Amino acid sequence: MQNLDVDLLVIGGGATGMGLAWDACLRGIPVVLVEAQNLAEGTSGRYHGLLHSGGRYVISDPVSARDCAAENAVLRRIAPEAIEDTGGLFLALNDDPEDYPDQWLRGCHEAGVPAREISLREVLAREPLLTHDITRAFEVQDGALDSFDLLHALHLNITRLGGMVLLGHRVQALRREHGHVVGAEVLRPDDGTIVTIHARRTVNAAGPWAAQVAQMADVDIPLALGKGTMVAMAERLVHTILNRCRLPGDGDILVPVGTVMVLGTTDVPVEEPGDRSIEPWEVDMLLAEGAALIPSLPDRRALRAWAGVRPLYRPPSDEDETRELPRSHVILDHAGDGAAGLISVFGGKLSTFRLMAEETLDHLALALGNNQPCLTTEVPLFGDEASYYTLPSRLRTIEDRSDPDKSPELVCECELVRRADIERVLERRGVQELDTLRRELRIGMGPCQGGFCGYRTAAIVQETILDAPPDGGLLSFLQARWRGNRPVAWGQTLRQMAFTRRVYMDLFHAQDMDGGDA
Amino acid sequence: MTKVHVVGAGLSGLVAAILAAERGADVTLLARGRGGLELSHGCIDIWHDGDLRQELPSIASGHPYRMIGVDAIEKAVQAFLRIVQPSGLGYLGEFRHPLRLPTAVGSLRRTNFAPLAQVSDDALGDLPCLIGAIEGFRDFFPAMIRRNLIENGFSVEGIVELPLPGHPARDVYASDLARLLDREEDAGNVLNAWQRRLAGAGALRLLLPAVLGLRDAGRLHRKAETIIGMPIQEIPTLPPSMPGLRLEWVLWRAADAAGVHLVEGPQITSPPDVMAGAGRVEELMAETAAGERRFPADAIILATGGILNGGLKALQDGRVVETVFGLPVSGVGLRDEWTAERMIDRQPFERFGVKVDAALHPVDADGRVLLENVHVIGGLLGGADRISEGSRQGIDLGSAYRAVEVILG
């Protein structure tokens, strides 16, 4: 039993919650954040990687477009190392509505989204794999934002500023006194520890689980869940983020991320926040839509698929569909619902997490007796010297190594991860889940999907971490890769899955190993 | 002289070609690329769980073993042992009692026959051993092996760092080390350095990654044991797997010695009339750099492998295609049911394959022979769970033997 007394309790370790805790720290508000699983375990870690320019929403949701445009500029300033400055294109094709592009361009000017028409010749020179069916093309400031990098940086900054982040801590109950929410009881299932947190204000930033948290205070929130499925192609087929210049729909975004390219997304209403099942039609549809932009796509290898659940705000009138729901966020103070002290924040985009935090804290700060201004638009998350992430940066590190007589000890050839990189993360974080290494280093995310690096990484973990399970986490790591491969298990990906089994079950007979609790 | 074409140069294709040539056929081996031996531990798995002769009646009727029969499997293994005998790899083992060999994660893998270098005289692992960590080689992790071998009852004295004089300043694979050790002078330097390091170590045997040579590995293994002064047990590690490549090398040479003609590189296709139901394949066609070539044949042995090795191609639209003749593939079902939820469970896709009769002719769903002079062998045969049964090489060798027996009497 442990007691904590803070001004602010944040529930949820996604981008919104971590943004809130960081902002609170910078304002000098004592804060603790609890996360039931791991950082970015929910929606933040299961998205397509697109830092929105705002262009996508200028017609359907101008408020969201304006927010995205402003936040895009802020994030480029404060978190460049988590961003790859790919730029973006909006492309109108032959069969798309002819009047949409002009309407869209006007919308961009009104919403403050920088956009510029460029010639088809220039587009095709930049992206040779694109269809020639393009009628008009516009350049915008999309980028690829690595949410794992972003959340790790937030975590470091929060901890450095004295905030507390409790991972693997699940809220059991909200503490209530005289109709006020005054904190929570949280349980750490790993060892049964119970922590009682007394807080003057509690923010529910649990994403798709926000309705369950609000329910603990007998509050219903208008939350709709929209599942989005994404497919990663095994190659980075484009340099630039591609959007269709038409009303947002399924399968109309292509995002180059690291060594792969992500096709996104679908939008399927679901009931359960953990419903991440993927239907074959979703995958087929994403590939077919992608082929409208890149005709050779059907001959390319789909590497894996995953789904995330969007926590969306459903205005009172709307029915079942989730695609039409606004993407802007809402902040609900439950003082009027008999739960003073509890605030829910949901909706919004990963791109607007910082703004959601700022607005929530502006609303709360006065009640907490704090009148400090928000600093998150100005304080760099990665230090003053940070610059944009670029794909060749890892290769450069390897080629520039100080001692040319020493081998680089590459563990993951696909993503160029060295043994030293793994040891650094293990030392700093004391983790033993290979999945954490994957999030930080992209290990196992390339074309071999752990076929080679799984053995090396697990063995290094097993050598380095005293209480690692006998398999070093190998089996659960391979299983996690397997799960992502299954929805696209045909062609080369099915061959690669057969290869993995051949190595680990035939050559190594790893199937009987003790994988610890996994 | 019977003209036999073998398509595919993995274990089953190579052995079929050798056996057919030995029986006097005019054999051409058509190899599109490397066969599957690069991924092989070099051992012969026949059946992991008990005596196959007793188990056979309880094996499902669609299993290749029911078509091949135990006699053919036993004769096939005898023939295999005879073919590899001159190589000095020295295969050991028996049909009924599987060996248990340490793996690169320290678990124990069952197999029926293994090259001498992988087998210890001491099957229970009672002899104290050292695990060798070779300088600069990253695909072998002694600490993990030690921990798990101890849990499996092995007596592990410790880990010894073995220097690698002249190792390159880059990451090396098993094949780099094996090639280095294939050179007489380098092998001498390395083994002498190891001998100095191990002098007085007190252990009774040394576990090493399987990197001791490629071309004359049997001899190098004996030489290493002599210089170092203790038995050496090799453990196959990540592909390229040296024990598989050694076996491939031995079989290539045996094929050459038996007079097999080799055509490398072509993608083999069938003439258009085959699909029209001709019932027989008079010739194969091949796209080569010089244009289309035709290969007239009396009999064809199809050894192109399954999903992993390219004999079968699984498509997004839910079809699974046999890549040479477009033969029907059994067991396919719906695309989202091809794989099981857990990686370690049996996988429906690994049972995909061509159905055959007792002469290994491809048959349709009703058992009618589709091509009377084509015989399907190896990984392309459907209906087996090779990994969980431990039947992969038994199917490869048994079907190769059986096909040659049918064709040449």
Beta bridge pairs of residue B232: B206
- Are A96 and A231 in the same domain? yes
Spatial distance between the Cα atoms of A264 and A272, rounded to a whole number of angstroms: 21
- Interface with chain B: mutation pick from A506, A511, A513, A514, highest number of B CBs within 10 Å: A506
Assess if residue A481 is contained within a domain. yes
Q: How far apart are CA A422 and CA A331, in angstroms?
A: 40
Residues B106 and A476: their CA atoms lie apart, in Å, by: 18
- Name the residue type at position A391: L
Shortest Cα distance, chain B CAs vs residue A134, angstroms: 27
Q: What is the pLDDT of residues B253-309, one digit of tens each?
A: 999 999 999 998 888 887 766 655 668 899 999 887 788 889 999 999 999 999 999
Task: Please tell me the predicted confidence (pLDDT) of residue A467.
Answer: 84
Separation CA A120–CA A118 (nearest Å): 7
Same domain, A135 and A234: yes
Q: Decide if A290 touches B, using CB distance below 8 A.
A: no
- What is the number of other CB atoms lying within 10 angstroms of the CB of residue B273? 11
Q: Tell me the C-alpha distance between A30 and A7, whole Å.
A: 5
How far is the C-alpha of B102 from the C-alpha of A366, rounded, in Å?
66
Count the residues in chain B. 409
Cα–Cα distance measured from residue A472 to residue B35, given in angstroms and rounded to the nearest whole number: 32
Identify the closest residue of chain B to A405 by CA–CA distance: B169
Does A499 map to a domain?
yes
- DSSP element (H, E) containing B322: strand B320-322
- Contact (CB<8Å) A510/B308: no
- Segment A28-65, tens digit of pLDDT: 999 999 999 999 999 999 999 999 999 999 999 999 99
Q: For residue B145, what pLDDT is reported?
A: 97
**Which amino acid does the sequence have at A219?**
V
Tell me, yes or no, whether A245 and A116 share the same domain.
Answer: yes
Q: Is B306 helix (H, G, I), strand (E, B) or coil?
A: coil
Q: Strand pairing partners for A177?
A: A180
pLDDT digits (tens, 9 = 90+) for B176-201: 999 999 999 999 999 999 999 998 87
Q: Do A400 and A291 fall into the same domain? A: no
Contact status of A461 with chain B (Cβ, < 8 Å): no
For residue B108, give the nearest of A298, A471, A509 by CB distance: A509
pLDDT of A35 reads: 97
Q: Kindly report the nearest CA distance between residue A472 and chain B, in angstroms.
A: 8
Whole-number Å distance between alpha carbons of B370 and B362: 6
CA A421 to chain centre: 22
Instruction: Provide the terminal-to-terminal Cα distance of chain B, rounded to the nearest Å.
Output: 13
C-alpha count within 13 angstroms, C-beta hemisphere, residue B329: 27
A64 within a domain of the structure (yes/no) = no
- Average pLDDT score over residue span B319-348: 96
Contact call for B316 and A490, based on CB within 8 A = yes
Q: How far is B255 from chain A (nearest CA, A)?
A: 26
A300 touches chain B (CB under 8 A): no
pLDDT band at B125; cut points 50, 70, 90: low
Using CA coordinates, name the residue in chain A closest to B141. A459
Residue A351 lies in a domain: no
User: Is the preceding peptide bond at A265 cis, omega within 30 degrees of 0?
Assistant: yes
CA–CA gap between residue B234 and residue B231 (Å, rounded): 10
Does residue A48 fall inside a structural domain? no
A516 touches B at CB < 8 Å: no
Cβ of residue A423 closer than 8 Å to a chain B Cβ: no
Together in a domain, A104 and A246: yes
> Pick from B132, B234, B251, B256: which is nearest to B178 by CA?
B234
Beta strands per DSSP E along A76-167: 83-84, 88-93, 116-118, 134-140, 143-145, 164-167
Res. B350: pLDDT tops 70: yes
* Domain range enclosing A427: 393-512
Q: Is the pLDDT confidence value at B316 over 70?
A: yes
Which residues in chain B have their CB less than 8 angstroms from residue A513's CB? 105, 107, 148
In contact, B322 and B306? CB cutoff 8 Å: no
DSSP string over A457-500: HHHHHHHH-TT--TTTTHHHHHHHHHHHHGGG-SHHHHHHHHHH
For position A321, what pLDDT does the model report? 66
Is the pLDDT assigned to residue B50 strictly greater than 90?
A: no
Place of tokens 């899955």: A497
Look at A489 and B349 and tell me if their CB atoms are within 8 Å: yes
Residue A372 within any structural domain of the chain:
no
- Whether A292 and A417 map to the same domain: the answer is no
A231 and A116 belong to one structural domain: yes
Residue partners of A444: CB distance under 8 A and separation at least 6: A412, A415, A434, A438, A450, A453, A454, A457, A477, A481
Among A310, A344, A368, the domain-final residue is A310
Chain B neighbors of A494, CB-CB under 8 A: 307, 314, 338-339, 349
Burial tier of B80 (Cβ tally within 10 Å: 0-12, 13-18, 19+): buried
Q: Tell me: do A119 and A238 sit in the same domain.
A: yes
Q: Is A489 on the interface with B (CB under 8 A)?
A: yes
Number of domains in chain A: 2
Contact between A379 and A78 (Cβ < 8 Å): yes
CATH number at residue A243: 3.30.9.10
- Among A310, A331, A346, which residue terminates a domain? A310
Chain B partners within 8 Å of A487 (Cβ): 336
Looking at residue A356, its amino acid is M
Q: Which tokens belong to B286?
A: 């091949």
Across the strands, what pairs with B206?
Answer: B130, B232
> Is A505 in Cβ contact with B168 (below 8 Å)?
no
How confident is the prediction for chain B on average, in pLDDT?
93
Residue whose C-alpha is closest to residue B125's, from B59, B203, B48, B226: B203
pLDDT at A431: 61
Residue B279 makes CB contacts below 8 A (sequence gap 6+) with B369, B370, B371, B372
pLDDT at A518 (0 to 100): 44
Among residues A277, A310, A343, the one where a domain terminates is A310
- The number of C-beta contacts closer than 8 angstroms across A and B is 145
**A301 and A414 within one domain:** no
Asked if B143 and A280 come within 8 Å (Cβ–Cβ), the reply is no
Claim to verify: residue A284 and residue A408 sit in the same structural domain: no
**What is the distance between the alpha carbons of residues A140 and A114, in angstroms, rounded to a whole number?**
6
pLDDT in tens, B74-116: 999 999 999 999 999 999 998 888 999 999 999 999 999 999 9
Same domain membership, residue A418 and residue A306: no
d(CA A9, CA A515): 35
Region of residue B93 (phi > 0: left; psi between -120 and 50: alpha; otherwise: beta): left
Task: Single out the residue of A146, A163, A153 nearest to residue A33, CA to CA.
Answer: A163
Query: DSSP per residue over A245-279, as a string?
Result: SSS--TT-EEEEETTEEEEE---EEESSTT-----
With CB atoms and an 8 Å threshold, state whether A505 touches B139: no
In a domain, A498, yes or no: yes
Same domain, A239 and A130: yes
If chain A, 518 residues long, is cut into consecutive pieces of 10 residues, what is the mean pLDDT of each piece? 94 98 98 95 94 95 94 96 96 94 97 96 96 97 95 96 96 96 94 95 98 97 96 96 94 92 95 95 97 96 97 78 76 94 95 97 93 96 88 84 76 91 81 76 88 94 88 93 97 97 97 73
Residue A161 placed within a domain? no
